[in-house]
Amino acid sequence: MIHVPVFISDIFHDKAKTCEYGAIHTTEIIETAFEKAREILTSESSPIGLMASPEGYPHVWARDSVITSPGAAFLPEHSNCLRLSLETLGGQQSELGAIPNNVSVATGRLDHTNVDGLR
């Protein structure tokens, strides 16, 4: 058993509220995290891949798609969404080989902007 700090209650509110400052079994935390991840993958799936956020960032992001892929491999029902992300991003590869940072779900517009704002 591990002791859960107060701030974790915001993330794992359903489990943490029931024990106040008590302990939660590690398996409960893992199960809760797994279900939250499944919910996020379901809500962020789009026809062209995995969005960062339907409300704030309705784009398929290269970084997010690649980081999500290993964990999502445990959820076979989401393998198609991740495949679509890679196909969407790879399909927009520039002649110089650059993969776009993101592609808009609504417009298909791609963005090759670097973190420093240069193109």
| pLDDT (0 to 100) of residue 79 | 83
Gap between the Cα atoms of 71 and 63, Å rounded = 14
Mean pLDDT of 2-31: 56
Q: How confident is the model at residue 16 (pLDDT cuts 50, 70, 90)?
A: very low
d(CA 34, CA 38): 6
Write out pLDDT tens, residues 19-69. 444 556 678 888 898 899 889 889 899 999 999 888 888 999 999 999 988
